[in-house]
Structure 1
Amino acid sequence: MSMLGKAALAMWWDVSPEVREELEHWHAHEHVAERLSIEGFLRSSRWTDASAGEGFFVMYELRDHAVLASEPYVARLNAPTPWSTKMMPMHRNMVRTQCEVVHSHGAVTARHVLTIRCSPLEGLQDKLNTKLGELGESASQLPGIVGLHVLRHQAPAMAATTEQKIRGNADRAADWIIVVSGYDLDALQQFGDEKLSNAQLEALGAVAETQCQSFTLAYTAIPPDVV
């Protein structure tokens, strides 16, 4: 398994241009260090919209799913710093998904990633699981592509946190997530068009919640980098 651990926290959001610089500064120099100081947080990666839009994709790789409801993490979620308290309302259109890692083939952090959020068609979850595993094995060796990873939403049993309440309790969650990593954006986008289109997803046993989104790596860190 190529991801660092058996679970992940995957998030999408966007911010208005006037606060983007501060949000990136906060995320890189306070928030990532805070999260990676928590036992079980293994790597943080942030990508920005490859088409220069306002969106971000952020993923934390975790030791296991229990980290998402661990006492140290929940304590941080319920006691945000003053800077975090300021920045939380600026996260727009938040999709925040606690996940288990279903498949992981090849590298995770590359110059670009392609993400798609989808759900299995009724009665086809097992088929989707099998087909995405097969797709990951082949995709990770294609020119321009270095990895394919599949995550599945599994919410921990916990109450809404202070951070969620600051954001307005409007966080959404994806169901299944496909993350394709690569060094060639054109190759990734071609792969998305050919293998993850609506028709292809249906053949795999899924329906898209979003179309493929492309992102470019902005920052990645592991605990020794910041703690």
Structure 2
Amino acid sequence: MTQPHGMLFVATHIDAADEADFNQWYDHEHVEERVAITGFLSGTRYQSLEAERKYLGLYETESLEAFTSADYHAAFMRQTEWSVKNLNNMINPMRRVCAITHQHGQGTGSHLAVLTLTSGTDVALLDGWQKSVQQTPGYIASRLLTPDTTLSSPLPRENRGNRPMHPMLLVTCRDVQICKTLAASAAQALNADAQLYSLSWQLTKQEMAHG
């Protein structure tokens, strides 16, 4: 049986005084370092439109095994001073290592809705909602993330006392208005909380391989 792809989900806020350096670090060191790890496929950055945390990073992997590999462990053993500084500057960060357990559609749109499924996952309801919106102009794809409790270790400044491992539905769309509309629809149908992000940029393993 083919293992599902994995997804590292990291959301955080950052103080205005640290923001310029934080973005330079992310854009010119951190994403490339992570995508270079064996088993990683892409790194994508988003910025909040309507969300609790301003910045979101998504890193897709071939499977959850990428997060237990020697290469991934080595990345933590050789953190640069720049990385240590910015990881410790994160405010209210959230780190989840997830399996992509349900995929509908393909592609990455300019806007992303993140739906936190507070009552768990009703696959029948999810399938019904996806079928009802699949022909909606501007809908691109949606994926269900199921967190792995063992692999989802906290970031340095993450709240360790309250870390619910709720499934999350990622809905990607062509433009902001359809994303808002579909986020509201999914929130009602799936009893979920919705947050909205816009795409900043993406780096893929294929791009790195071609220099």
Q: Could you tell me how far apart the structure 2 residues matched to 1:191 and 1:224 are?
A: 31
* Regions of 4+ moved over 4 Å: 51-54
Aligned position for 1:201: 190
Q: Could you tell me how far apart the structure 1 residues matched to 2:164 and 2:200 are?
A: 23
Q: Which amino acid aligns with 2:44?
A: S
Q: Could you tell me how far apart the structure 2 residues matched to 1:177 and 1:53 are?
A: 15
Please, which runs of 5 or more residues in structure 2 have no aligned partner? none
Aligned position for 2:96: 97
User: What is the deviation of 1:96?
Assistant: 0.8
Q: Could you tell me how far apart the structure 2 residues matched to 1:108 and 1:19 are?
A: 33
Please, which runs of 5 or more residues in structure 1 have no aligned partner? 203-207
User: What is the deviation of 1:136?
Assistant: 2.7
1:77 aligns with 2:76: yes
Normalised by the length of structure 2, the TM-score is: 0.85
Q: Could you tell me how far apart the structure 2 residues matched to 1:32 and 1:93 are?
A: 20
Which segment drifts farther, 183-192 or 149-158?
A: 149-158
The answer to whether the Cα contact below 8 Å between 1:101 and 1:150 also exists between their aligned partners in 2 is yes
1:192 aligns with 2:183: yes
Q: Could you tell me how far apart the structure 1 residues matched to 2:18 and 2:106 are?
A: 32
* CA spacing shift, 1:157–1:20, aligned 2, 3 Å: closer
Aligned residues: 204
* CA spacing shift, 1:10–1:169, aligned 2, 3 Å: closer
Equivalent residue runs for 1:11-50 within 5 Å: 11-50=10-49
The root-mean-square deviation of aligned C-alpha atoms, in Å, is: 2.4
Aligned counterpart in structure 1 of residue 143 of structure 2, from 144, 149, 155: 149
Q: Could you tell me how far apart the structure 1 residues matched to 2:53 and 2:125 are?
A: 32
User: What is the deviation of 1:9?
Assistant: 0.8
Normalised by the length of structure 1, the TM-score is: 0.80
